[in-house]
Amino acid sequence: MADDIPVDHYDVLQISVTAEPETVHRVYRILAQRFHPDNRDTGSAERFRALSEAYDVLGNPERRAQYDITYQQLKQERWRLVSSGEGSENDFSFEQAVRLTVLEALYTQRRVQPYEPGIFVGDFEQLIGRPREQIEFTVWYLLQKGFVQRSDNSRLTITAEGADHLEAGYQSRLKLRLLRDENPLSDDTNAAV
């Protein structure tokens, strides 16, 4: 995970930027109880630390005001990045690569940790290195196609249809890669998701 990507405390607490202090406190208490390491069913020390850090910032009016300034600047930077990429020729192929990356990560997560098969969208932001605003399009597409679904705790999980698509696509991408290796001048061998 990249250390240079700041944590979105609002996302961690799953609250709006305009949430009232009482809401921040209430949501923190609910989530802290759910993810406390002593909770055998849903406890997560890493998630609990992130929640506590987010609450330390957003629960303090002065620290929240400072954070909000930085948060708004970061948001503006992200939108500049989004708008600057509109005319890029490679957006389609790059988006396809991001979709494959998300599916591969979810596929691996389900295989390696079948009892915790999901990944939070915020984790993809760090994994892929793209702003959440751009990842949301990828998630929307994969949800609409039925390749992924959101679990009860808002994590993304791969569906059987998504696994089938990934496995079928792997075979065709492998064949295309072999063809490309045999004929390096052919440039129309991009696989689509």
pLDDT of 3 reads 46
**pLDDT value of position 153:** 79
Q: What is the pLDDT of residue 81?
A: 54
Quote the pLDDT of residue 2.
Answer: 42
Dihedrals phi, psi of 34, to nearest 5 degrees: -65, -40
- Predicted TM-score (pTM) of the model is 0.48
Which residues in the chain belong to E strands, given as ranges?
148-150, 156-158
Is residue 110 helix, strand or coil?
helix
The 3-state DSSP composition of the chain as helix, strand, coil percent (nearest 5) reads 65, 5, 30
Tokens for 63, please give them: 């620290």
Residue 156 β-bridge partners: 119, 150
pLDDT tier at 1, thresholds 50, 70, 90:
very low
SS3 string, 125-174, reads HHHHHCCHHHHHHHHHHHHHHCCEEECCCCCEEECHHHHHHHHHHHHHHH
pLDDT tens digits for range 98-150: 888 889 889 988 998 888 888 888 888 878 877 888 888 889 999 999 999 99
Mean pLDDT of all residues in 66-76: 82
CA 91 → CA 35, 134, 138, distances in Å?
A: 37, 11, 12
What phi and psi values does residue 119 have, to the nearest 5 degrees? Answer: -135, 135
**The two structure tokens encoding residue 138:** 């990828």
Domains in the chain with CATH codes? 9-84 (1.10.287.110), 91-182 (1.10.10.10)
Per DSSP, the three-state class of 22 is helix
* pLDDT value, residue 22: 93
What confidence tier does 58 reach under pLDDT thresholds 50, 70, 90?
very high
The answer to whether 31 touches 14, Cβ cutoff 8 Å, is: yes
Residue 78 is encoded by which pair of tokens? 């992200």
One-letter identity of residue 103:
L
